[in-house]
Amino acid sequence: MKKDIHPKDYRLVVFKDMSNEYAFMSKSTVKTKETILWEDGKEYPLIKLEISHTSHPFYTGKMKLVDTAGRVDKFKSRYQKHIDRNAAAK
């Protein structure tokens, strides 16, 4: 194995699933400016997640449409001129 390719600045970070407010702590090197007050009364860096194992359909067994960024609306607005052109051609 190659030496000195892995980061050495691991620290405790809180990851929070924004779809259901589930949070867990793990070690990570990810950089963030946000912090959160954890259960032990200390502040830790915060990483916001859109989906985790508590909200992912594969793990929960429930199909749920997660459209937090408005992806469907972005797609429709981007291709609206093509939809209008096809409708006019018919």
pLDDT tens digits for range 16-65: 988 888 899 999 999 999 999 999 999 999 999 888 877 766 656 666 55
Regarding predicted confidence, which is higher, 72 or 29? 29
Question: What are the distances in angstroms from CA 17 to CA 20, 44, 46, 56, 84?
Answer: 6, 16, 11, 10, 38
Question: What are the distances in angstroms from CA 53 to CA 28, 41, 77?
Answer: 18, 25, 31
Q: Identify whether 45 is part of a domain.
A: yes
Q: Identify whether 37 is part of a domain.
A: yes
Q: Identify whether 3 is part of a domain.
A: no
Q: Identify whether 83 is part of a domain.
A: yes
- pLDDT over 60 (residue 12): yes
Q: Identify whether 1 is part of a domain.
A: no
Q: What pTM, to 2 d.p., does this model score?
A: 0.60
Q: Identify whether 70 is part of a domain.
A: yes
- pLDDT over 90 (residue 80): no
Q: Identify whether 6 is part of a domain.
A: no
The residue whose two tokens read 């859109």 is 50
* Domain housing 32: 11-89
What is the count of structural domains for the chain?
1
